[in-house]
């Protein structure tokens, strides 16, 4: 690698559709017969560390420049491997630190990933000629694979450790083949063989609304010009945030669970929770709760307000990006005396 006189590498894979930057980089390392850390040290030395950060989110310019120059990949295609493609779609403006709306929190500690931020569909991995991991699998909005009509996994079903494919060659005397990316780094279980989990549908119209949002996400991840229901999705996240509120005066989650005839979620109280840090199964239920409200937002928010499950001031609290249609609905509930009518 160090003695090459050509700009282009001998192995110059291009990213697959919707592929993550980290996955592309691991494939390139293994394609050259090198372990991931060795490959990155040869390229960048110890001065520029790759794996002590969430590179799919941060996407350092120096890393992209090197991959573009060495693989001959068009800039737009290379930049399309990062989670920054969702700027203006899932979140208004990119930021390097803190919670990024809808992006699952990796919680990086050295080279470890403490959060289960990398979801996957086993059937997608099984169908891939070369298994790879998608950008949309890092998005909290997505809990299902619509193509295969199954739930996503957010951990190895055998050892229950989160996915960290960049660590799969650590402690091993050999370099895995490219097709081995789907193996659990801890126990070696083939994630592509994980059983398909049926989708839990609480109410069909609510799930259909959620599925439409996920379908739009899939489209915009490959084609940034595709349409996306941003107003609906930003309200959906706000409703879920209210359902995670530790305030005793906010009982929206229990109200919706009662209307749907299901048990409320057992979520720890007293902690400020964000949907981006929750397991897939929990998010799946919460998102359907929020979607149930959005099927008929005016009528169902009025029901919740009259039942004292939500107060007017909570509907707009910390919601600067509220669409006009949602604000118009919320302002109908500003007069508490109307509750008695």
* Residue 338, pLDDT above cutoff 80: no
pLDDT of amino acid 125: 97
Under 8 Å between Cβ of 274 and 237: no
Q: Note whether residue 210 is domain-resident.
A: yes
250 with 302, same domain: the answer is yes
Where a domain ends, among 173, 193, 213?
A: 193
Q: Helix, strand, coil % (nearest 5) of the chain?
A: 45, 5, 50
Under 8 Å between Cβ of 209 and 296: no
* Residue 110, pLDDT above cutoff 80: no
Task: State how far the alpha carbon of 105 is from the alpha carbons of 101, 140, 168, 191, 338, in Å.
Answer: 10, 9, 20, 21, 41
Over residues 147-174, the mean pLDDT reads: 90
Where a domain ends, among 193, 222, 250?
A: 193
Under 8 Å between Cβ of 322 and 238: yes
Whole-number average pLDDT of the chain: 92
pLDDT tens for residues 215-241?
A: 999 999 999 999 999 999 999 999 999
256 with 165, same domain: the answer is no
Q: Note whether residue 135 is domain-resident.
A: yes
Q: Which domain holds residue 138?
A: 21-70+86-193
172 with 223, same domain: the answer is no
183 with 224, same domain: the answer is no
58 with 158, same domain: the answer is yes
142 with 177, same domain: the answer is yes
160 with 238, same domain: the answer is no
* C-alpha–C-alpha distance, residues 177 and 199, integer Å: 32
Q: Note whether residue 2 is domain-resident.
A: no
Where a domain ends, among 168, 193, 218?
A: 193
Q: Which of 44-58, 61-75, 250-264 has the lowest mean pLDDT?
A: 44-58
The crossing angle, in degrees rounded to 10, of helices 280-295 and 252-260 is 80
98 with 224, same domain: the answer is no
* C-alpha–C-alpha distance, residues 69 and 317, integer Å: 47
121 with 186, same domain: the answer is yes
Residue the block writes with tokens 């050259």: 32
Confidence band for 268, pLDDT divided at 50, 70 and 90:
low
pTM: 0.94
Helix (H, G, I), strand (E, B) or coil at 91: strand
* Residue 2, pLDDT above cutoff 80: no
296 with 164, same domain: the answer is no
pLDDT of amino acid 6: 65
Q: Note whether residue 76 is domain-resident.
A: no
Q: Note whether residue 50 is domain-resident.
A: yes
More confident residue, 2 or 66: 66
For 21, what's the count of Cα atoms within 13 Å in the CB-facing half-sphere?
A: 28
* C-alpha–C-alpha distance, residues 109 and 313, integer Å: 38
Under 8 Å between Cβ of 144 and 211: yes
Over residues 40-48, the mean pLDDT reads: 87
pLDDT tens for residues 177-195?
A: 766 899 999 999 999 999 9
109 membership: H or E segment, kind and range: strand 108-109
* C-alpha–C-alpha distance, residues 191 and 155, integer Å: 9
* Residue 4, pLDDT above cutoff 60: no
Q: Note whether residue 142 is domain-resident.
A: yes
209 with 313, same domain: the answer is yes
* Of the candidates 229, 211, 216, 191, the residue with the CA atom closest to the CA atom of residue 287: 211
pLDDT of amino acid 51: 85
Confidence band for 318, pLDDT divided at 50, 70 and 90:
very high
* Number of domains the chain is built from: 2
Q: Which of 2-6, 62-66, 206-210, 241-245 has the lowest mean pLDDT?
A: 2-6
174 with 226, same domain: the answer is no
Return the percentage of the chain with pLDDT > 90, whole number. Answer: 78
Q: Where does the chain have alpha helices with state H? A: 21-31, 36-44, 55-58, 61-71, 75-79, 122-127, 204-222, 230-243, 252-260, 280-295, 297-306, 312-316, 324-330
Q: Note whether residue 321 is domain-resident.
A: yes
């Amino acid at each position: 690698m160090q003695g090459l006189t050509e700009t282009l590498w001998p192995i110059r894979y291009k990213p697959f559709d919707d592929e993550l930057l980290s996955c592309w980089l691991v494939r390139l390392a293994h394609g050259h017969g090198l372990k991931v850390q060795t490959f990155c040290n040869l390229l960048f030395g110890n001065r520029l560390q790759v794996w002590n950060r969430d590179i799919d989110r941060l996407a350092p310019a120096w890393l992209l420049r090197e991959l573009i120059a060495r693989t001959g990949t068009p800039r737009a295609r290379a930049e399309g491997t990062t989670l920054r493609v969702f700027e203006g779609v899932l979140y208004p403006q990119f930021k390097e630190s803190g919670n990024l709306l809808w992006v699952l929190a990796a919680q990086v500690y050295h080279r470890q990933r403490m959060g289960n931020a990398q979801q996957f569909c086993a059937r997608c991995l099984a169908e891939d000629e070369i298994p790879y991991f998608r950008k949309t699998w890092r998005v909290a909005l997505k809990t299902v694979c619509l193509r295969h009509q199954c739930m996503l996994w957010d951990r190895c079903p055998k050892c229950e450790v989160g996915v960290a494919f960049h660590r799969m060659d650590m402690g091993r005397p050999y370099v895995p083949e490219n097709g081995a990316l789907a193996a659990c780094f801890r126990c070696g279980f083939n994630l592509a063989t994980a059983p398909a989990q049926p989708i839990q549908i609480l109410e069909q119209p609510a799930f259909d609304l959620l599925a439409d949002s996920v379908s739009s996400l899939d489209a915009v991840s490959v084609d940034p010009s595709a349409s996306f229901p941003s107003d609906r999705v930003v309200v959906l996240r706000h409703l879920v945030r209210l359902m995670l509120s530790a305030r005793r005066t906010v009982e929206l989650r229990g109200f919706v669970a009662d209307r749907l005839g299901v048990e409320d979620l057992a979520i720890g109280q007293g902690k400020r929770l964000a949907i981006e840090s929750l397991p897939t199964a929990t998010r799946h239920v919460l998102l359907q709760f929020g979607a149930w409200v959005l099927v008929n937002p005016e009528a169902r928010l009025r029901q919740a307000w009259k039942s004292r499950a939500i107060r007017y001031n909570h509907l707009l609290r910390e919601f600067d990006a509220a669409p006009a249609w949602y604000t118009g609905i919320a302002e109908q509930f500003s007069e508490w005396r109307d509750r008695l009518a």
